[in-house]
Amino acid sequence: MKSLNYKKVDAFTSPSSSGNPAACIVLEPDRTLTREEMQRIAAAHKGFVSEVVYCTPKGPDLFALRYYSSECEVEFCGHGTIACMYDLLQNNPALACLPVVSIDTPKGRLTVYNELAALDAVFISAPTPEFLTTEVDAAAAADALGVSLDSMVRVHPIQLVNAGLNTLIVPIATLATVLRMAPDEEGLKAFCLAYEIDIILIFCKEVSGPDSFIRSRVFAPKFGYLEDKATGSGNSALGYYMLKNELWDGRPIRIEQNAEPAAYNIVHLKTADGKVLFGGRATVKIEGKYYI
């Protein structure tokens, strides 16, 4: 039997919201896992967390991260990265003094910026974006999401952007529509698989909070659950989308995410050296050993 260092960590938490949970397993040198073991652990977490993050130290300031949902390995998980790296930087004295550390992910090497002292947050450089072609039009997106065509903002495009995951970005006219949207999970999953979409991000300019810039929600039925309540990869794709479509100038912003009018999660976005950085804080909820 193997024992693993285990934490359940909620990412993108705020004083009024519970964030998005991830299970974080930091592997010791003598505690390697096979892909089958990692998938089995993730499958056992279905309905408890959306992804399990496996973190392997590779040096004093380098870590390798892999991500699994209950259904499959995931190329990149932003909230899981925030959860894992916030906890490591906050609780490891050797890391707490470092301004940056690096992570190797299936999407390449990324930089983690330590802003705990200034902002009680860590920021992650999003993977290099890819703007992909898609045959999805407004009518097809509206039908899959269970809303009327009139609820779409037609002046901005529906676009497929990969900043970690293939993210279909759909602009919506009003906050009321965003908040009440309740698509059918199985139908939306079939739609995503048919068009090679990992997640769907809807957004509107109308917001609940006075300091917020955008409201978003993210649907991820491909990975075994309907909604991701706070996302790094999805909002990073939105950041690149907004830059391309001149909806954002790259200055620091707050994105409010989920379907709650007031108790929304907060994802921070900013830019550095032409890259979108996503950031936030995290809260440890469970700590102990996991046995397989």
Which has the closest alpha carbon to 10: 286, 284, 287, 288? 284
Residue 30 has pLDDT above 80, yes or no: no
Which has the closest alpha carbon to 115: 286, 268, 274, 283? 268
Residue 213 has pLDDT above 80, yes or no: yes
Taking the C-alpha atoms of residue 265 and residue 259, their distance in angstroms, rounded to an integer, is 10
pLDDT recorded at residue 1: 80
pTM, two decimal places:
0.95
Residue 15 has pLDDT above 90, yes or no: no
Single-letter code of the amino acid located at 40: R
The chain-wide mean pLDDT, for the chain, equals 96
pLDDT recorded at residue 115: 97
pLDDT recorded at residue 47: 94
Residue 20 has pLDDT above 80, yes or no: yes
pLDDT recorded at residue 135: 94
Taking the C-alpha atoms of residue 53 and residue 68, their distance in angstroms, rounded to an integer, is 7
Which stretches within 124-224 are classed as H helix?
138-145, 175-180, 185-194
Task: For residue 92, give both structure tokens.
Answer: 């490891």
pLDDT recorded at residue 136: 95
Residue 31 has pLDDT above 80, yes or no: no
Banded model confidence at residue 14, pLDDT cuts 50, 70, 90: confident
3-class secondary structure, 220: coil
SS3 string, 70-93, reads CCCEECCCHHHHHHHHHHHHHHCH
Which has the closest alpha carbon to 144: 179, 193, 203? 193
3-class secondary structure, 206: coil
CATH number for region 130-275: 3.10.310.10
pLDDT tens track for 50-108:
999 999 999 999 999 999 999 999 999 999 999 999 999 999 999 999 999 999 999 99
pLDDT tens track for 123-147:
999 999 999 999 999 999 999 999 9
Q: Where, residue-wise, is CATH 3.10.310.10 in the chain?
A: 3-126+279-291, 130-275
pLDDT recorded at residue 23: 98
- Count of CA atoms in the C-beta half-sphere (13 A) of 128: 2
Average pLDDT over residues 198-206: 98
The DSSP annotation for 270-284 comes to: EEETTEEEEEE-EEE
Phi, psi values for residue 114, rounded to 5°: -85, 105
Domain 3-126+279-291 coded CATH 3.10.310.10: yes
Q: Is 19 left (phi over 0), alpha (psi -120 to 50) or beta?
A: left
Residue 148 has pLDDT above 90, yes or no: yes
How far, in Å, are 34, 61, 84, 86 from residue 92 at the CA level? 27, 11, 12, 10
Residue 29 has pLDDT above 90, yes or no: no
pLDDT recorded at residue 244: 97
